[in-house]
């Protein structure tokens, strides 16, 4: 099964975007990734890298009049959220593929995602729940579902929901909770009632993230990451992890998350360590093309207790 994905990011997220690509390349035997670079720096670097199985879509081809009209009214992140639905729609229309899955740039695959797409069967839309741990429940503000891995088929059911989503995001998409809305995400809360053909992902390995990882134990079984739900002992293979709020402080310093999430030492070792190594390699790769690349990596001030020195999970080479 050939899988079609799209993602968007600017140069600040280039290391994460490359990590996403390399994880797909490693685990998915047949795919096409449509990347929408959101600044000239990221476009030029990706163009130079000429990655196999990647189709670059520059902003001048993607942005239409409606997107350009709202762009001045949105912050950088808000505009990216505004565009997520439009990137999927662009791929379905322009490239005439039978489906497309939007991926957040900061997710990373540990196994083949085909099992997730196949789970939707004859349904036309696939959405994933946050599955918040009780101590991290942000459903009321951020929504029940997460725009991290969302699939639409190129059929009337899929396009009806997708066109509706694009329209409401053009109308309102901001980084605040207001009148039951939050960014592009809380719009998904009632999709199982609003639209036909919606499937909510059941596979627990699709969407492990800082806000829910405390509910699971993780271990390595024959080079496969296996999760176990602590309260039920239900086992599953970890398909992807969402490295939400991870910050790159420098080529060797990282802040793992932005809240007081509980992440065990074993989870840091098995999940975070491979990802951090990938980010480090991607920064080095980008600097070979553009020696000034490190200057565009965001550097945050030292705040006690808010970043990890990675003494136990990072081996400097």
Count of domains in the chain?
2
What pLDDT, on the 0 to 100 scale, is given for residue 259?
76
Final residue belonging to a domain, choices 200, 232, 254: 200
Is there a single domain that holds both residue 134 and residue 24? yes
Q: What residues does 181 pair with on adjacent strands?
A: 178
C-alpha span between 274 and 24 (Å, rounded): 14
Q: Are 132 and 150 in contact (CB under 8 A)?
A: no
Is there a single domain that holds both residue 133 and residue 225? no
Is there a single domain that holds both residue 43 and residue 156? yes
* 117 domain-assigned: yes
What pLDDT, on the 0 to 100 scale, is given for residue 253?
85
* 317 domain-assigned: no
Is there a single domain that holds both residue 235 and residue 96? no
What pLDDT, on the 0 to 100 scale, is given for residue 250?
82
Write the CATH number for 180: 3.90.550.10
Final residue belonging to a domain, choices 164, 185, 200: 200
Interacting residues of 288 by C-beta distance below 8 A, sequence separation 6+: none
Q: Are 163 and 90 in contact (CB under 8 A)?
A: no
Is there a single domain that holds both residue 194 and residue 212? no
Tokens of 25: 């390349």
Q: What is the mean pLDDT of each run of 10 residues along the chain (317 residues)?
A: 98 97 98 98 97 98 98 97 98 98 98 98 98 96 97 98 98 97 98 98 97 97 96 96 92 81 95 96 94 60 35 41
Tokens of 250: 């420098």
Is there a single domain that holds both residue 99 and residue 113? yes
Interacting residues of 312 by C-beta distance below 8 A, sequence separation 6+: 265, 268, 269
What pLDDT, on the 0 to 100 scale, is given for residue 294?
59
The pTM of the full predicted model, rounded to 2 decimals, is 0.92
Question: Which helix or strand (DSSP H or E) is residue 42 part of?
Answer: helix 40-49
Interacting residues of 166 by C-beta distance below 8 A, sequence separation 6+: 85, 86, 89
Is there a single domain that holds both residue 187 and residue 241? no
User: What 3-state DSSP class applies to 133?
Assistant: coil
Q: Are 293 and 243 in contact (CB under 8 A)?
A: no
Is there a single domain that holds both residue 143 and residue 267? no
From 58, 62, 154, 147, select the one nearest 104 (Cα to Cα): 147
What pLDDT, on the 0 to 100 scale, is given for residue 312?
39
* 212 domain-assigned: yes
Is there a single domain that holds both residue 190 and residue 215? no
Place of tokens 């039978």: 98
* 238 domain-assigned: yes
* 152 domain-assigned: yes
Is there a single domain that holds both residue 218 and residue 149? no
* 278 domain-assigned: yes
Gyration radius of the chain over CA positions: 19
Q: What residues does 37 pair with on adjacent strands?
A: 9
What pLDDT, on the 0 to 100 scale, is given for residue 295?
58
Burial (CB count within 10 angstroms: exposed 0-12, middle 13-18, buried 19+), residue 307? middle
Q: What is the DSSP letter of 200?
A: E
Tell me phi and psi for residue 125, to 5 degrees: -140, 135
* Structural domain containing residue 192: 3-200
């Amino acid at each position: 099964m050939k899988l079609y994905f799209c993602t968007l990011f600017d140069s600040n997220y280039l290391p994460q975007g490359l990590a996403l690509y390399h994880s797909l390349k490693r685990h998915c035997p047949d795919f096409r990734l449509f990347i929408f670079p959101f600044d000239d720096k990221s476009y030029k670097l990706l163009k130079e890298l000429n990655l196999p199985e990647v189709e670059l879509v520059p902003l001048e081809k993607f942005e239409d009049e409606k997107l350009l009209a709202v762009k001045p009214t949105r912050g950088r992140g808000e505009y990216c959220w505004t565009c997520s639905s439009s990137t999927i729609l662009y791929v379905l229309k322009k490239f005439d593929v039978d489906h497309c899955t939007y991926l957040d740039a900061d997710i990373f695959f540990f196994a083949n995602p085909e099992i997730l797409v196949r789970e939707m069967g004859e349904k036309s839309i696939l959405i994933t729940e946050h599955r918040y741990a009780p101590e991290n429940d942000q459903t009321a503000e951020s929504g029940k579902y997460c725009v991290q891995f969302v699939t639409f088929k190129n059929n009337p059911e899929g396009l009806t929901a997708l066109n509706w989503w694009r329209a409401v995001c053009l109308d309102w998409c901001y980084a605040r909770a207001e009148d039951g809305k939050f960014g592009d995400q809380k719009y998904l809360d009632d999709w199982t009632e609003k639209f036909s053909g919606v499937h909510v992902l059941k596979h627990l390995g699709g969407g492990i993230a800082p806000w829910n990882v405390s509910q699971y134990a993780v271990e390595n079984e024959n080079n496969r990451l296996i999760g176990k739900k602590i309260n039920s002992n239900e086992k599953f293979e970890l398909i992807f992890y969402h490295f939400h709020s991870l910050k790159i402080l420098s080529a060797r310093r990282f802040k793992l998350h932005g809240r007081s999430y509980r992440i065990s030492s074993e989870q840091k070792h098995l999940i975070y360590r491979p990802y951090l190594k990938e980010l480090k390699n991607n920064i080095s790769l980008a600097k070979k093309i553009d020696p000034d690349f490190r200057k565009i990596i965001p550097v945050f001030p030292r705040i006690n207790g808010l970043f990890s020195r990675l003494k136990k999970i990072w081996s400097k080479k």
